[in-house]
């Protein structure tokens, strides 16, 4: 079993990556660049969903990993 | 009226008059250095000087003369826009000196250029060997334009990377300590955003002499106080580093976990992250 805290850390990093893409998409000047960042943001969302599911799973299996 | 006063008035009028006419003529007239425009410049300067100084000269005649000299090229330009034949006759066309690496000796003779002069002009354009030149033409302005052979041209970004992002021009948003709202609006930003960005760096708007925002929205500032070190913007690099770290972590998780579904999930997402990394590296790497 992977260490739950590490996975949670990655989840937090992913959320910050998501926010980074979002803010770059907003402040960038060029439409193509904006579109690229937006697409990357959507991809990151998918990854976040997967990881959240996984975290949910082991919070159920081992309740001591719940919360921070 | 005393002489010096008259001279002062004349000089002043001539300067203002010339300035107004230059504004009307526009940038093209001032920029082009064709032979005729060169002579024009000297003549108008001489006329202006004479009118300013010589009280005997009738002011009206002087001004008329300057007007004719200055408006003539304007009229020529206007007709040139309408008629290509007229434009070719007046402005002339470029003469090809080197085509596909071969020197056109007949054209050189036609323009009364010796081989030595050709080589000199090429050297001025940093082409020291005529073997490096693919194409060279003598422009109507007297300048020689040189196209180097592809193998001698310097590397471009497109040669090294695919999918090079288009990066727009930076906007200067603070100049001489004053916030410029128009460039901010061009970038679809506002003063509140700017204040937040400056807070992030830890400076107040009053301390900033010059600030520019690049195509990604990153702000670079120069402060009045040169002893203070302003950290360069690192948001892009941090984001890229974060992505790489997550990708590595996911591969690690895939190895560590015992559940097969989890392994698959981590592997799939590690691949997604690799794709993200590859897509945004040209944008974030700077």
The Cα B244–Cα B239 span in angstroms is 9
B266 close to A10: Cβ distance less than 8 angstroms:
no
Evaluate if residue B31 carries a pLDDT over 60: no
Query: Per-residue confidence at B9, pLDDT binned at 50, 70, 90?
Result: confident
With vertex at residue B77, the alpha carbon angle to CA B72 and CA B80, rounded to the nearest 5 degrees, is 125
Query: Per-residue confidence at B12, pLDDT binned at 50, 70, 90?
Result: confident
Across the interface, which of B166, B245, B272 has its CB nearest the CB of A43? B272
Average pLDDT in chain B: 86
Evaluate if residue B25 carries a pLDDT over 50: yes
Contact criterion met (CB < 8 Å) for B272 and A1: no
Evaluate if residue B286 carries a pLDDT over 60: yes
User: Alpha carbon of B85 to those of B37, B73, B181, B279: distances in Å?
Assistant: 20, 17, 46, 51
Average pLDDT in chain A: 87
Contact criterion met (CB < 8 Å) for B253 and A47: no
Closest CA to B144 of B136, B156, B132, B133: B136
User: Alpha carbon of A14 to those of B65, B165, B216, B262, B283: distances in Å?
Assistant: 74, 24, 21, 17, 19
Evaluate if residue B180 carries a pLDDT over 70: yes
Which H/E stretch holds residue B220? strand B219-223
This model of the complex carries an ipTM of 0.88
The Cα B244–Cα B202 span in angstroms is 28
Structure tokens at B3: 């002489």
Across the interface, which of A1, A14, A30 has its CB nearest the CB of B215? A30
User: B41-45, B127-131, B244-248: lowest mean pLDDT where?
Assistant: B41-45
Q: Which residue of B has its CA nearest to A2?
A: B257
B211 close to B222: Cβ distance less than 8 angstroms:
yes
**DSSP helix/strand/coil, B151:** helix
Reported pTM: 0.71
Evaluate if residue B34 carries a pLDDT over 70: no
Contact criterion met (CB < 8 Å) for B280 and A54: no
């Amino acid at each position: 079993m992977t260490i739950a805290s590490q996975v949670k850390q990655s989840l937090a990093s992913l959320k910050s990556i998501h926010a980074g893409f979002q803010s770059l998409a907003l402040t960038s000047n060029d439409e193509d660049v904006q579109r690229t960042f937006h697409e990357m943001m959507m991809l990151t969302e998918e990854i976040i969903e997967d990881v959240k599911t996984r975290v949910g799973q082991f919070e159920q299996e081992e309740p001591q990993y719940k919360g921070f | 009226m005393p002489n010096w006063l008259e001279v002062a008035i004349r000089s002043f009028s001539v300067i203002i008059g010339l300035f107004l006419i230059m504004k009307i003529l526009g940038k093209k007239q001032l920029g082009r250095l064709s032979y005729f425009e060169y002579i024009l410049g000297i003549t108008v300067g001489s006329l202006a000087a004479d009118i300013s100084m010589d009280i005997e000269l009738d002011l009206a005649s002087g001004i008329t003369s300057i007007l004719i000299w200055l408006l003539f090229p304007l009229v020529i330009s206007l007709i040139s826009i309408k008629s290509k034949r007229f434009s070719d006759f007046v402005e002339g066309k470029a003469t090809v000196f080197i085509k596909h690496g071969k020197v056109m000796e007949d054209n050189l003779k036609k323009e009364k250029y010796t081989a030595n002069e050709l080589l000199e002009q090429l050297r001025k354009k940093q082409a020291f060997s005529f073997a490096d030149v693919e194409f060279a033409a003598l422009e109507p302005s007297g300048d020689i334009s040189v196209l180097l052979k592809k193998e001698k041209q310097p590397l471009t970004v497109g040669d090294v990377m695919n999918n090079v992002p288009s990066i727009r021009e930076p906007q200067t948003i603070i100049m001489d300590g004053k916030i410029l709202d128009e460039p901010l609006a061009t970038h679809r930003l506002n003063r509140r955003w700017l204040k937040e960005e400056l807070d992030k760096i830890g400076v107040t708007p009053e301390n900033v002499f010059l600030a520019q925002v690049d195509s990604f929205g990153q702000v670079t500032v120069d402060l009045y106080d040169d002893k203070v070190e302003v950290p360069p913007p690192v948001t892009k690099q941090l984001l890229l580093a974060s992505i790489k770290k997550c990708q590595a972590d996911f591969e690690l998780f895939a190895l560590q976990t015992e559940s097969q579904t989890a392994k698959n999930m981590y592997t799939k997402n590690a691949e997604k992250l690799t794709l993200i990394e590859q897509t945004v590296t040209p944008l974030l790497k700077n």
